[in-house]
Structure formats: C-alpha cells, structure tokens
Amino acid sequence: MRGTLGSPVSLFACAILSSAVLLAHPAEAAESCPVQVAYSPDGSAEELVVSAISGARQSIRLAAYSFTSPSVVRALMAAKQRGVDVAVVVDDKANHGKASVAALNLLTQAGIPSRTVSIYPIHHDKYIVIDGSQIETGSFNYSSAARRNSENAVLISQCPAVARSYLQHWQSRWSQGSDYVLPY
C-alpha cells in the first residue's frame, strides 16, 4: 500500500520530517518536501526502495542494520553499472550470516565500497540518501525477512535539508567503519 502526499499517513510523515528540519535546520524549514510512503509485508515497501535506488543518477549512500535483500543488492549493482557512485555501511554483528555475507560479497565484487560498523552495540540505521537530495528511511531492514515477515513502513522524501543531515550522519558512520573484505 502506497500513500501519496495528502493521505493522512503522508501528512503525518510530512509533519515528522518538517519537525526534524525545524529542529536541525531552522533557516531551511520552509522548503517543500514531496513524500511517498509504502509498507510491508504486502511487498510495496521493498518495491518503493528499489524504485528509489533505480532513479538515482549521481550517488547512493546506504546505511543498514540487516542487509540480505537480493532485490536491493541487484538495484545497487545496476546503479553502479549506470555510473552512480554507490557506497554502503552496515552493522558488523548483524551481517555475518550466509545471506548477509553473500550480499556484501556481491557488492564488493561489483566494486561498491562497503564498510561494517562495530563500535556501537547495534548500528540500527536504515536509510538511503540518493543524489544528495532524497532520503528513504523507515523501519524497513534491507532484508528478505523484512519483505516477507515484518510490518514495516518506508518513507521517501525529496527534501534536500533533511538529506544533507542524513548524509552527514552517514559520513560519520562511514568514517567509524572498517572496509568489508571478501572472506576468500
């Protein structure tokens, strides 16, 4: 189920994003921020994430807790092949299973820089900054389990001020991470 700007859920999401912008960037709070929302487990959350990645033209910065989604991996690899600058940072402890290692191996083999963060008990971030001006965030882990088994929400906003804040946060986590190295 997707929401559009004007639905009650989208208006609520817009209010939350606007509050974040007001608190973090008071001078920039007046900008208009178009919003899309989707949910799982009906499938539309992952579909919206993949669509956002597919629309990237310059850069993608992904931060994740659990990272196993074949669809997201394929979309990131396709973006890299289109010439998009892609980089990924994930939680170290949550990504040692077979599916996570396979996903990270594919990214690394495709030339996508990936790092793991281990200095926090849990690196629980779940967001993507696209082209420095669009943000995808929500409760959706980039995993097969999130698509199938969990109730999740995804919000995408074309809001440069919010995207800049997320990008600064992403950069700090990237700086704290260690390069993912193929296990063989």
CATH of 8-179, one of 3.90.79.10, 3.30.870.10, 3.40.1350.10, 3.40.50.880: 3.30.870.10
> pLDDT digit string (tens) for 56-98?
999 999 999 988 899 999 999 999 999 999 999 998 888 888 9
Per-residue DSSP letters for 93-143? GGG-SHHHHHHHHHHHHTT--EEEE-SSS-----EEEETTTEEEEES--BS
Q: What is the number of other CB atoms lying within 10 angstroms of the CB of residue 61?
A: 24
Residue 155 DSSP SS3 = strand
Q: Identify the H or E element spanning 74.
A: helix 70-81
Could you state, in order of their start, the residue ranges of all structural domains in the chain?
8-179
pTM assigned to the model: 0.82
Tokens 């200095």 sit on residue: 119
Among the listed residues 40, 98, 99, 110, the one whose alpha carbon sits nearest the alpha carbon of residue 74: 110
Residue 171's φ and ψ, nearest 5 degrees, are -60, -40
Residues with pLDDT less than 50, the chain = 1, 4-6, 8-23, 25-27
